[in-house]
Structures are given as structure tokens and as C-alpha cells.
Amino acid sequence: MATATIDLDALRRNLKLLRSRLSPGCEFLAAVKANAYGHGAVPVARELEREGVAWFGVATAEEALELREDGIAGRILLLAPAGERVDELLSSDVDLVVAGRYSLERVRSIASRGTPRVHLKIDTGMGRLGLPPGEALELARELDRDERVRLESVWTHLATADEPDHPLTGQQLEAFESFRETLSREGIEVPLLHTCNSAGLLALPKAHYGLVRAGIALYGYPPPGTSPDPAESSVDTQSGRAAGLGFTPVMTLSAPVVFAKRVPAGATISYGATWRAPRDTTIATVRLGYADGYPRLLSNRAWALLGGRRAPVVGMVCMDQLMLDAGDLDVVPGDDAVLFGGSGPGADELASLVGTISYEMVSSVAARVERVYTG
Ligand SMILES: *Cc1c(COP(=O)(O)O)cnc(C)c1O
């Protein structure tokens, strides 16, 4: 059975490493959206809660409610504007986001039944959620005046925190600072401010404010733009953007060999006959395919660890299976191949082969892949 083994020791080590970089007094929000980037939201959040993490970030109402139903007691911030199921979110004590007029009205619609805690999102340059500071100011005033809601935080999201030289980061932080000053001039008190994701946590200590929201580094991958090899990295180690940084990938994706056979030189493998054996070799068929979240684009490009050796992925990746060139390795059904993580390639290494990022590799691992927890 294809398995994603989740190493909770590694998760704790990554958390410790990230906390050691936090500015004094800054709190930590663990992004556990998208099933904790494929790692399993509830087990991951439980483990982090045991380690004292007080905030969890999710992307949908369902994700927020699932965490609550499964006993997560900490603050849960729904990182997107409140739209559906706001009643249930309020009764489950979920922190809500206001990004514009619509979400403000949604929050007000439930305000007679409790005191929603709201987080005003402003757009300083990401261009995804929230109004620009000029327009967001009116929302801030209304939230401040409304006794039935609690304005908990003002926050923004950085588009280029992982690119040390990009001018947008500075512009966004300036816009955020100046919004903060405007609020304080108007006497609008905001308990919490936050801007940083993993990349910002590592690179922008001045922008930590009261909370950082980290995901990918927690799961063991340096944010894109930092390279594991300092020599190849565009990263400025002096500003604290050290490459690699000692994170350990939390997920190891493995799957069993279900069939193996010798093929003669010239034999072709898989759909389209895109790979031809250059010599007599052993082909191992592995029970994992693109429906398990292993990208078809990795056909003829990636490798897996099999019997302690690198075995190239040969031929097109199929829906449920892929083939490895095992060379002269003695391989039998039941042997496990490591597709990424552990001693196999990094999810970031495979991601870069197909023009994506580690986030997409880990969060795409399908529901039918069993999650197994160790540590
Ligand atoms: C997912 C997410 C994060 C975490 O980003 P990483 O790059 O994984 O650290 C932070 N903030 C918001 C709004 C997010 O959606």
C-alpha cells in the first residue's frame, strides 16, 4: 500500500528551529490548511498543540470545523474571508477574516449571537485578498465602532518574502507600517499585527510583529528561493537567510513494488513507448501513480530509492503505477520504493524538475495514500 509516513519527531524539530528564530514575544501560527499540506490536519495539529502551539491557520470553514470537532482547543484562524457556515464558525469559536464589504456584512450578520473575533486583511501588494490601505481604513473604523465584534488583528500577506532582493517586500512592509500608524493616529487599537509566512519568519525579523504564520518550513522544506546548497543559493546568509537551515522533511512517500521482471535491451516501457531499455535490465512496477499525487510530468525525469540505490522513473507514469529501472538489483514484490522524503529525493528536488514547488508535491498526495505516524 502506498504510504506517506509522517515523522512527528521531525515536525517537532522543525518547530523548535522556527521558534528559535522568532522575535521576542512573537507567537506562532501553524498553517494546517489543505490537510496540513497533505500531512494530516488533525494528527499534526494535535502534536503541535501538545508542543504549545496556540494558533492554527486553515483555508476553509470545513477545515476549521474539523479541527474543532476533533478536539483542537487553540485559536483557529480561517485565513479566507468568512462566507459560508458563519453561524457554525462562530459557535465553534473560530477567528474570522474580514477582507471587504461582503465579509464584513457576513460577520455582522452573526454578531447578535456572540462576539465574533475578526482579523482585518489588507492588500499591500499580494493582490489576492483584502482592500488596499486607503479603502480598508473605512472597514477598520466600522469594526472599531461596532461593539458586537472584536477587531483582533490587522494583517497582510507578502508576495515575495522568499526573494531577498525583490523591491515589493519593502514596499509592502512600508504600506503596512503606514496603515498601522494611521490606525494608531485615529485611536483604533489593534491587539495583533502579522505579515510573515515561513520565508518572512526566516528573513524578515523586523516584520514579525506579534504573530507569524508558518507552513512549509514546519513540514521540513525551506521556502522557495532558499536553496539547500549555499553555493547555489541567491540567499544572503548574512541577513539570516541561511540556505537549507536544517529543516527535516516530515513526509516520506513510499510504495511497494508489485511486480518485477527482466527485460531485454530495446524493450519499451509504458504508454507511448517513450523509454527504451538501453541494455538488459530489471524493471520494477511500483503501486503509485498520478492518481496518488505523483505528477505524470515526472515521467522519465525523476528517480526513487530502491534497495538503497537510485532507480530512475522510466516510461510514462500511469494512474496507479509507475516503473523504475532497477538495473541489476535483485528486486522482489513487496520491496519498498521511496518516491520522496527520507533517503529518497526531496519533494523540492522533484518539484523543481517539473516547474513547481514543494508545497504542491506534498499537498497533492491523494487521500488513498495511507498516512502513518511515527515518533
Ligand atoms: C499558507 C499560508 C501561510 C503559510 O505559508 P508558508 O509559505 O507555507 O509558510 C501564511 N499565510 C497565509 C495567509 C497562508 O495562506
Q: Identify the sign of the CA torsion 170, 176, 181, 185.
A: positive
Residue among 332, 276, 288 nearest 306 (CA)? 332
- Ligand 1 within 6 A of CB of 213: yes
- Ligand 1 within 6 A of CB of 160: no
pLDDT at 159 over 80: yes
343 Cα: distance to centroid of ligand 1 (angstroms)? 27
Report the alpha-carbon distance of residue 113 to residue 109 in Å, rounded: 9
Asked if 270 contacts 286 with a C-beta cutoff of 8 angstroms, the reply is no
pLDDT value of residue 244? 57
256 Cα: distance to centroid of ligand 1 (angstroms)? 33
- Mean pLDDT for 335-341 is 98
Tens-digit pLDDT profile for residues 183-242: 999 999 999 999 999 999 999 999 999 999 999 999 999 987 754 444 444 333 333 333
Select which of 37, 209, 271, 359 is catalytic: 271
**CB burial class (10 A; 0-12, 13-18, 19+) of residue 109?**
middle
Mutate to test the pocket of ligand 1, among 197, 208, 216 (most ligand atoms within 8 A of CB): 197
Tens-digit pLDDT profile for residues 27-71: 999 999 999 999 999 999 999 999 999 999 999 999 999 999 999
- Mean pLDDT for 313-334 is 98
- Mean pLDDT for 315-325 is 98
- Mean pLDDT for 301-322 is 98
**pTM for the complete prediction?**
0.94
Verify whether residue 33 is a known catalytic residue: yes
DSSP string, 55-111: EEEESSHHHHHHHHHTT--SEEEEEEE--S-HHHHHHTT-EEEE-SHHHHHHHHHTG
Tens-digit pLDDT profile for residues 355-370: 999 999 999 999 999 9
Atom number of ligand 1 nearest to Cα 155: 13
pLDDT value of residue 164? 81
Report the alpha-carbon distance of residue 32 to residue 55 in Å, rounded: 10
198 Cα: distance to centroid of ligand 1 (angstroms)? 7
Atom number of ligand 1 nearest to Cα 216: 8
Tens-digit pLDDT profile for residues 94-151: 999 999 999 999 999 999 999 999 999 999 999 999 999 999 999 999 999 999 999 9
- Ligand 1 within 6 A of CB of 214: yes
- Looking at the DSSP bridge assignments, the partners of residue 262 are 282
- Ligand 1 within 6 A of CB of 157: yes
214 Cα: distance to centroid of ligand 1 (angstroms)? 6
- Ligand 1 within 6 A of CB of 79: yes
Mutate to test the pocket of ligand 1, among 33, 79, 196 (most ligand atoms within 8 A of CB): 79
316 Cα: distance to centroid of ligand 1 (angstroms)? 33
Residue 118, by phi and psi: left (phi above 0), alpha (psi -120 to 50) or beta? Answer: beta
At a CB cut-off of 8 Å and minimum separation 6, what does 224 contact? Answer: 162, 199, 348, 357, 358
- Cβ burial 196-218 (10 Å sphere, 16+ → b, else e): bbbbbbbbbbebbbebbbbbbbb
Verify whether residue 209 is a known catalytic residue: no
pLDDT value of residue 212? 98
